[in-house]
Amino acid sequence: MAIEIRGVNKSFGDAAVLRDVSVDVTSGSLTALLGPSGGGKSTLLRVIAGLERPDSGQVVISGRDATRLPPQRRDVGFVFQHYAAFKHMTVFENVAFGLRIRKRPKDEIKKRVGELLDLVHLDQFAERYPAQLSGGQRQRMALARALAVDPEVLLLDEPFGALDAQVRKELRAWLRRLHDEVHVTTVFVTHDQEEAIEVADTIVLLADGVVQQQGAPAEIYDNPASPFVMRFLGPVTEIDGRLIRPHDVEIRTEPGEGTSPAVITRVVRLGFEVRVEFTVRGAEGEQAAWAQLTRETVERIAIEEGAEVHVRPRPAIKHSIQIA
Ligand SMILES: Nc1ncnc2c1ncn2[C@@H]1O[C@H](COP(=O)(O)OP(=O)(O)OP(=O)(O)O)[C@@H](O)[C@H]1O
């Protein structure tokens, strides 16, 4: 295990920000700390980095109790959302910085920085200054700098948070590939569930300072531990007191086992996908819900506004939660 967090508590004044948090991070994994704003993600990352001391509990890094070690002795590299580069140094010098203060030989530094700039696709930019880079390039430089000293663990706090949506998407894919090449144990903070599902091999969902669930993305998506987790990981709708994914709603023209009558209120075509809104007439009155169907299905059963239909959760679905 690369990182073991055991029963960590942390308060700021009266506010308990981490409550009995225990997390295992496997060696070589890419783990997302996911959760709503204020849930404690950054604080947990800072506790791992040694920038914040827990009130109680233990942090073990590579089998060594690091709870009381200062950040520079933990063998971690970190990158924050707004990366502070040395403005008067070139990209090369920024990446070389950690190696220079460790007094590595010149040849070795040159070779290592060259490899790292290749890895982050900045080999053409070695002699530029940070101000001459785009935001995405600057974050890649920050990653190269953090990797330069071969940390056991790489900690990233919303590293792409300040960038526009397109660049963010590119960097996500790039981070995944980089990790496949380098395999350094990486923990990154994100509030974006899509980013976590796409990039991470393990997700730790943190809200109100409590770990709500941890596991592989598909496992959490398919077997959410609570309505909160199910809602946080993707769209949901409610039919007959059951919380289900909108793509797990079946709409039929004829009644069948377990169906409820419904009236279509709106059909929105979003390319391949069609969002069908309807009102279900259940035992407790009328309720608005929606389904995500393919264009083909919508055309096959001729769904249109005002149509009277019958709905139910698809019989074979894996995940639904009884909430009423
Ligand atoms: N140094 C501090 N002093 C006082 N309160 C703090 C401090 N750092 C964090 N907090 C509070 O702790 C709570 C958790 O903050 P944290 O930054 O860990 O959450 P987060 O999940 O990373 O949220 P976000 O996604 O908004 O960054 C918040 O309510 C925050 O205001």
Complex ipTM, two decimals?
A: 0.93
Cα–Cα distance measured from residue 211 to residue 186, given in angstroms and rounded to the nearest whole number? 18
Question: What are the start-end ranges of the E strands in 35-120?
Answer: 56-61, 64-65, 76-79
Global model pTM greater than 0.90: no
CA dist., res. 12 & res. 255, Å (int): 56
The CB of 19 under 6 Å from ligand 1? The reply is no
Query: Tokens 């204020």 label which residue?
Result: 38
Cα angle 151-157-160, degrees, rounded to a multiple of 5: 110
pLDDT value at position 95?
Answer: 94
- Asked if residue 17 has its Cβ within 6 Å of ligand 1, the reply is yes
Evaluate: CB of 38 within 6 angstroms of ligand 1: yes
Question: Which residue has its alpha carbon closest to ligand 1 atom 25?
Answer: 37
In 3D, which of 301, 239, 291, 233 has the Cα closest to residue 267?
Answer: 291
Q: Identify whether the C-beta of residue 133 lies closer than 8 Å to the C-beta of residue 141.
A: yes
Tokens 């994914």 belong to: 245
Domains present along the chain, CATH in parentheses: 3-228 (3.40.50.300), 235-322 (2.40.50.140)
190 CA from centroid of ligand 1 (Å): 13
Residue with CA nearest ligand 1 atom 17: 42
Mutate to test the pocket of ligand 1, among 14, 34, 41, 43 (most ligand atoms within 8 A of CB): 43
* Residue 141 token pair: 């430089």
Which regions of the chain are under pLDDT 70?
Answer: 82-83, 318-319, 324
Q: How far does the centroid of ligand 1 lie from the alpha carbon of residue 231, in Å?
A: 22
Residue whose C-alpha is closest to residue 292's, from 273, 279, 272, 307? 273
Nearest CA residue ID for atom 26, ligand 1:
37
For the CA of 206, the closest atom of ligand 1 is 21
* pLDDT for residue 318: 63
pLDDT at 319: 66
Q: Which of 41, 155, 190 to mutate to test the pocket of ligand 1 (most atoms within 8 A of CB)?
A: 41
Nearest-CA residue for atom 4 of ligand 1: 12
**Residue ID of nearest Cα to ligand 1 atom 12:** 17
Share of the chain residues as helix, strand and coil, in percent rounded to the nearest 5: 30, 35, 35
d(CA 210, CA 8): 10
Q: Please work out whether the CB of residue 191 comes within 6 Å of at least one atom of ligand 1.
A: yes
| Ligand 1: centre distance to CA 15 (Å) | 10
- Angle at which helix 165-182 crosses helix 106-119, to 10 degrees, equals 130
Cα–Cα distance for residue pair 31/41, rounded to 1 Å: 12
Cα 320 from Cα 66, distance rounded (Å): 41
